[in-house]
Amino acid sequence: MAVKQTHRRTEEEILKEQSDYLRGTITEGLADVVTGAVSPQDAKLLKFHGTYLQDDRDVRTERLRQKLEPAYSFLIRVRLPGGVCTPRQWLELDELACKYANRSLRITTRQTFQFHGVLKRHLKTAIAGINQALLSTLATCGDVNRNVVCHNNPYLSPLHEELYAWSRSLSEFLLPRTRAYHEIWLDRERITGSPAEEEPLYGRVFLPRKFKIGIALPPSNDIDVFAQDLGFIAIAERTALKGFNVAVGGGMGVTHGDPATYPRLADVIGFCLPDQLLEVAETVIRVQRDSGDRTNRKHARLKYTLDDRGLDWFKAELEARLGWRLEPAQPFEFEDTGDRLGWAQDSRGQWHLTLGIVSGRVADTPGVAWMSGLREIAKIHAGDFRLTANQNLTIGKIDEANRPVIEAVLKQHRIPDPGRWGGLRKNALSCVALPTCGLAMAESERWLPSLLARLEPILKKAKLAKDSITLRVTGCPNGCARPYLGEIGLVGKAPGRYNLYLGAGFNGGRLNTLYREGLSEDEIVATLTPIIMRYARERFEGEHFGDFVIRAGYVAAVSAPRGFHDQTPQPALKPARTG
Amino acid sequence: MNPSGPLTPQQWEALKRLVEGISPDQILWVSGYLAGFGGARRDLAPSPTLRVEESQPGVTVLYGSQTGNSEKLAQELHSRLVQEGWSVRLEAMGSYKTAQLKRDACLLVIVSTHGEGDPPDNALPFYEFLHSKKAPKLEGLRFSVLALGDTSYEYFCKTGRDFDHRLEELGATRLHARADCDVDYEETAECWIEGILAALARDRAPRIDMPVPAQVQPESAYSKKHPFPATLIENLRLTGRGSTKDVRHIELSLSGSGLRFEPGDSLGVVASNWPERVADLLASLGLDPSSTVPGSSGGEISLEEALLREYEITTLTRPFLEGYAELSGSQELGQLLKEESRGLLRDFQYGREIIDVVRGYPVHGITAGQFIALLRKLPPRLYSIASSYNANPEEVHLTVSVVRYESQGLQRHGVASTFLADRVAEDGQVPVYVDSNPNFRLPPNPEAPIVMVGPGTGVAPFRAFLAEREATGASGRNWLLFGDRNFHSDFLYQVEWLDYRKNGLLNRIDVAFSRDGEEKVYVQHRMLENSRELYGWLEEGAYFYVCGDARRMAPDVHEALVGVVKREGGCSRERAEDYVKELQSSKRYQRDVY
């Protein structure tokens, strides 16, 4: 399917323009108690406020037959720059999750919390509660700058502090200024008779599409800096921050069967000083605001603006608006995209414990009492909590004396020691998908455990159990778990059917390539088994799985961004039912 | 009665003297002369008797009906009396002028009892009048009462008994003894009607037969006595996962039945009992299932068949207990049945069924015949129809709350609800008939606004109302108030209401879910919250309908309605009550409560 060349603004653009700075009829929609939903228009505007209308897809058809509307509920996403929160905030969010959501917190791939299953009648109370915890949900979704992600390397605490501070500054600086949020959720009065609200950065129609910013600190690429619209790669000398390489145009989202859509890794275009960070970010956003495609939402991210106009044009436009030139990029090297799981001591002698949480789902299950255990830790912990972009959790700044106490709580709640985990499990990500996500075409979070349970014995047999291989699973091609950066990427296509991608760089520097289409779980296992076995036999010393599959000829390396679709996938082992 | 009628004593004496000495032929001539004389002078129809009066004292059939049964019986009695040549007036208690009472010579009352011994809604004003100090002395009036009720209720036939007692107290003479009907009222009612006709015939004067056109109504071949075997075409659960209830949407095919119904009518479902309970009962009684017993409508059938299809085997009625207590000789049961143990008996009946008594107080050597004699006929169950004939002439829809609970360590199954939900297979057949309810009708004027209060399965007739108004293009505004336990799982027909709201048919819908919040909210709270709008609708001529639970909801809604009028009309409670009574008597406040 080709890109639609309508040249007419999308209905979303008109909606934004007419929304009175994101107000729409949200208040009226919330007051309508006859339905658990809001109007489609308000649902779009609500994203800017940090909440998505969803429904329990497990019961959608059943309820339709029962003459009941879908089991609507809302997702609420918190703004948590750098993924850091205090134990007190943890407790407050935990309470909100137990009271108004599905008794769980979910750590997202953008280092923040998501609540699922919040009913409309509780939405306002829940969002107000998040604000009472001195957090916000504003602009965690929608055509604005989303939650700013930031590296989480506990070995380098002083730099972490500094970069975390920059992530906060970026987050604050790029927030929408509309008062709609405060009026709707926090009962602030609208100042009547005032001149039209100024939205100096975003304007009436905000950005053409979502915008994501991340800060990485080499050698760790734990936030997948090349997947960001705007990535900052911190350049440091020992513990002194020199500045940032600027990378632009990353993004994951793809539409199945539409070659005009593709994932793209960000290009490094230069270097800026820490003091220039906010100015660069704002100006990149301004260029995209004015140049991005507002006629086609599947072609509206910065990555397409860059490819349509050329990187040189973009850099020139950026520098012209800045009034100064970026310095040449500084050398850097990334080693991996994972977290350092387990206990670590920083240069100041404080301890940090990074726990592995499969799919980031914090909930009490028959196996592990995650929710209760972390609640107990939050009650006694004096440091901080840091959510990672790999859906894990670091309990940061633990005093020596507190370590045994925390270890006891972990044990009591059967929270697993990730040190014992295999390399695949440690490096696995998944999006939420079914039953709540409206976009999902296949299972993801609920399927990952069974997939791991099938692949781990094969790796064990191949004596690769401890070797790190990145696995990224999503229920649709939009890319929440950055599937095109997995050495093994699985993207849902239909219930029980996935496209298999292979060959991404272990350090997040290369996209993967479509290998097989529409595979079932059995077919995935059957397809991967011989490749894994051969990898175990034939790999070079230190050769990563993603590199091996290219060398062995399973897939070709992706060169240019548009090259993502160049390879025609080989047919599946058996004719597979697709889409 | 004064033998002289309207004549003065002098005239009476003169007449007696004249008549004493003349022959039968002369009498005939004189009566003809007098009749012609009277007709010429008064322009009155010739009367078969010599008594010609200003307002002829005739027979009045007065009924108070909630579900329409009393009304139907009243119509039946009326037409039988007319056929016998009586001058009869048929009156509903709701519209009966109390001043007429003094002029009536014979009053035949047919009235049902509801809930805690309450009269039907539209009978209440007359009931209250008759029991008040304003009631006139009624010497000279002859009367008889047919009471309708249900022995499973504590105050069985209370309204009828009250009328019977009060009329006597006011000096009226009983023409024929009162009869109390249980749910299977037909036979008892027929006996009473026969009795009335016989009693009237005994003391009436010669009459001239006048041909009376028989009331002809186009009717289906199917009726309560001959139910139509309707095919079950849909049985789906309306309550979503996590609900505390199981409410079904049942669709039955009426194709080929010729049955018609109007919004507000009920469907009679002739269900059979739960086979497991029949087996329990047979085992507990130690009786042979194949032993023969008299069927409820004559003939011999097996005991098992009788228990399965013919007799009520669950509800613990007082008559059953009385009979059973006698058989068992149980002192405990005997004690419960004493007048002073009413409270204890009620507690005992709560959560117990016949099986519990049979098990708890075994009667050694009880015979099948003895046991069957204690049972009443298995009554059909009535469900408010949830579909419109005009919208869906081939089908009838029901909204059925499935009754299943545990009590005294035993599973309990509502007879008809579990029959429909569990025991009729898809494409299986359900014997049904239409039970018309003339007291629950859409406004005759399609432009009149309506307010419908229907929590729980009480919403059923309003689904019919809205479908009818859509099908007939009625332009009146529609306001629905619905309530249940949980929004998520119990919002019956939610998608349909949302569609109706979207397409403009449903102008307003308010909902109350009692178990979603910390405080329990019900429909009456929504009425009070929206009192201004509600009063506005009433002032604009809206009809106000209530359907559902009679015990708590209906009185609460009634109270709220009075409260709304009081608040928004800025009047006293008395005035507000009058306002609501006026709504009732003008048929703008109708209820179908059970």
**Out of B492, B496, B498, closest to residue A35 by CB:** B498
Of chain B, the percentage scoring pLDDT greater than 70 comes to: 88
> Residue B208 in 3-state DSSP?
coil
Mutate to test the interface with A, among B235, B238, B241, B523 (most CBs of A within 10 A): B241
Neighbours of A151 (CB within 10 A): 28
For B312, the enclosing helix (H) or strand (E) is: none
Q: What is the pLDDT of residue B488?
A: 96
Q: What is the pLDDT of residue A339?
A: 94
Q: Do B494 and A67 touch (CB under 8 A)?
A: yes
Query: Does this model's pTM top 0.90?
Result: no
Tell me the pLDDT tens digit for each residue of A354-378. Answer: 999 999 999 999 999 999 999 999 9
- Written as one letter, the residue type at B503 is N
Tell me the pLDDT tens digit for each residue of B297-352. Answer: 778 999 999 999 999 999 999 999 999 999 999 999 999 999 898 899 999 999 99
What's the gap in Å between the CA of B457 and the closest CA on chain A?
Answer: 14
**Has residue B46 got a pLDDT over 50?**
no
Check the CA dihedral B103-B107-B111-B117 and report its sign.
Answer: positive
What's the gap in Å between the CA of A69 and the closest CA on chain B?
Answer: 6
* Mode of pairing for the β-strands spanning B59-64 and B106-112: parallel
Tell me the C-alpha distance between A477 and A512, whole Å.
Answer: 13
> Residue A219 in 3-state DSSP?
coil
Domains in chain B (CATH in brackets) are: 9-54 (no CATH), 58-209 (3.40.50.360), 228-270+380-435 (2.40.30.10), 275-374 (1.20.990.10), 450-593 (3.40.50.80)
Residues of chain A with Cβ-Cβ distance to B239 below 8 Å are 66
pLDDT band, very low/low/confident/very high, at B203 (cuts 50, 70, 90): low
What's the gap in Å between the CA of A119 and the closest CA on chain B?
Answer: 9
Tell me the pLDDT tens digit for each residue of B547-585. Answer: 999 999 999 999 999 999 999 999 999 999 999 999 999
> Residue A114 in 3-state DSSP?
strand
Check the CA dihedral B400-B405-B411-B415 and report its sign.
Answer: negative
Q: Do B488 and A65 touch (CB under 8 A)?
A: no
Measured at the alpha carbon of residue A208, what is the angle toward residues A202 and A210, in degrees to the nearest 5?
85
**Neighbouring C-alpha atoms within 13 Å toward the C-beta of B12:** 9
What tokens does B381 get? 């169950």
Q: Shortest CA distance to A204 belongs to which of A230, A176, A170? A: A176
pLDDT mean across residues, chain B:
88
**Out of B240, B501, B509, closest to residue A68 by CB:** B240
Q: What is the mean pLDDT of residues B168-187?
A: 90
> Residue B137 in 3-state DSSP?
coil
Q: Interface pTM (ipTM) of the complex? A: 0.89
Q: What is the pLDDT of residue B51?
A: 36
Q: Do B493 and A67 touch (CB under 8 A)?
A: yes
Tell me the C-alpha distance between A212 and A229, whole Å.
Answer: 5
**Has residue B221 got a pLDDT over 90?**
no
Q: How far apart are the first and last CA of chain B?
A: 43
Q: Do B240 and A35 touch (CB under 8 A)?
A: no
- Beta strands across the sheet bearing A149-150: A149-150, A213-216, A230-237, A240-248, A267-272
What's the gap in Å between the CA of B107 and the closest CA on chain A?
Answer: 50
Q: Do A34 and B240 touch (CB under 8 A)?
A: no
Q: Do B487 and A36 touch (CB under 8 A)?
A: yes
Residues of chain A with Cβ-Cβ distance to B238 below 8 Å are 66-68
Q: Shortest CA distance to B269 belongs to which of B393, B436, B381, B140? A: B381
Residues in B whose CB is inside 8 Å of some CB of A read 236-241, 249, 487-489, 491-498, 501, 509, 511, 516
Q: What is the pLDDT of residue A226?
A: 97
Neighbours of A444 (CB within 10 A): 29
**Local structure of residue B311 (DSSP, 8 states):** B
Supply the residues of A annotated as catalytic: 77, 146, 210, 212, 431, 437, 476, 480
Strand locations in A78-182 (E) = 84-85, 104-107, 113-118, 149-150
Task: Please name the residue of chain B whose CA is at the shortest distance from the CA of residue A58.
Answer: B241
Tell me the C-alpha distance between A571 and B453, whole Å.
Answer: 61
Task: Please name the residue of chain A whose CA is at the shortest distance from the CA of residue B489.
Answer: A68
**Has residue B49 got a pLDDT over 50?**
no
Tell me the C-alpha distance between B248 and B245, whole Å.
Answer: 10
**Neighbouring C-alpha atoms within 13 Å toward the C-beta of A533:** 9
Phi-psi region of A21 (alpha: psi -120 to 50; beta: other; left: phi over 0): left
Tell me the pLDDT tens digit for each residue of B447-479. Answer: 999 999 999 999 999 999 999 999 999 999 999
Q: What is the pLDDT of residue A2?
A: 45
Peptide bond into A435 cis (omega under 30): yes
Residues of chain B with Cβ-Cβ distance to A66 below 8 Å are 236-240
Q: What is the pLDDT of residue B143?
A: 93
**Neighbouring C-alpha atoms within 13 Å toward the C-beta of A341:** 24
Tell me the C-alpha distance between B499 and B483, whole Å.
Answer: 18
Strand locations in A166-238 (E) = 213-216, 230-237
What's the gap in Å between the CA of A142 and the closest CA on chain B?
Answer: 28
Q: What is the pLDDT of residue B103?
A: 76
Q: What is the pLDDT of residue B89?
A: 86
pLDDT band, very low/low/confident/very high, at B209 (cuts 50, 70, 90): very low
Contacts of B32 (CB under 8 A, 6+ apart): none
**Out of A33, A59, A121, closest to residue B241 by CB:** A59
**Out of B249, B495, B509, closest to residue A69 by CB:** B495
Question: Is B111 within 8 Å of B145 (Cβ atoms)?
Answer: yes
Tell me the C-alpha distance between B111 and B136, whole Å.
Answer: 20
Q: What is the pLDDT of residue B25?
A: 67
Per-residue pLDDT 10s for chain A (579 aa) are 444 455 799 999 999 999 999 999 999 999 999 999 999 999 999 999 999 999 999 999 999 999 999 999 999 999 999 999 999 999 999 999 999 999 999 999 999 999 999 999 999 999 999 999 999 999 999 999 999 999 987 666 688 889 999 999 999 999 999 999 999 999 998 876 555 567 999 999 999 999 999 999 999 999 999 999 999 999 999 889 999 999 999 999 999 888 999 999 999 999 999 999 999 999 999 999 999 999 999 999 999 999 999 999 999 999 999 999 999 999 999 999 999 999 999 888 899 999 999 999 999 999 999 999 999 999 999 999 999 999 999 999 999 999 999 999 999 999 998 988 999 999 999 999 999 999 999 999 999 999 999 999 999 999 999 999 999 999 999 999 999 999 999 999 999 999 999 999 999 999 999 999 999 999 999 999 999 999 999 999 999 999 999 999 999 987 655 456 655 444 333 333 333
Residues in A whose CB is inside 8 Å of some CB of B read 33-36, 59, 62-69, 71, 119, 121
Task: Please name the residue of chain A whose CA is at the shortest distance from the CA of residue B250.
Answer: A66
Cα B284 off chain centre by: 35
Range B345-350, long-range pairs (CB < 8 A, 24+ positions)? B345/B318, B345/B321, B346/B154, B349/B316
- Beta strands across the sheet bearing A113-118: A51-55, A72-77, A113-118, A104-107, A361-363
**Local structure of residue B324 (DSSP, 8 states):** H
Exposed, middle or buried, B400 (CB in 10 Å: 0-12/13-18/19+)?
Answer: buried
Q: Which residue has the higher pLDDT, B470 or B296?
A: B470
Q: Which residue has the higher pLDDT, B93 or A280?
A: A280
Q: Do A66 and B238 touch (CB under 8 A)?
A: yes
pLDDT band, very low/low/confident/very high, at B21 (cuts 50, 70, 90): low
**Out of B236, B496, B498, closest to residue A65 by CB:** B236
Neighbours of A40 (CB within 10 A): 10
Tell me the C-alpha distance between A122 and B198, whole Å.
Answer: 70
Q: What is the pLDDT of residue B3?
A: 52
pLDDT band, very low/low/confident/very high, at B486 (cuts 50, 70, 90): very high
**Local structure of residue B151 (DSSP, 8 states):** T
* Mode of pairing for the β-strands spanning A213-216 and A149-150: parallel
What tokens does A335 get? 């080693």
pLDDT band, very low/low/confident/very high, at B140 (cuts 50, 70, 90): confident
What's the gap in Å between the CA of A106 and the closest CA on chain B?
Answer: 23
Q: Shortest CA distance to A54 belongs to which of A440, A567, A436? A: A436
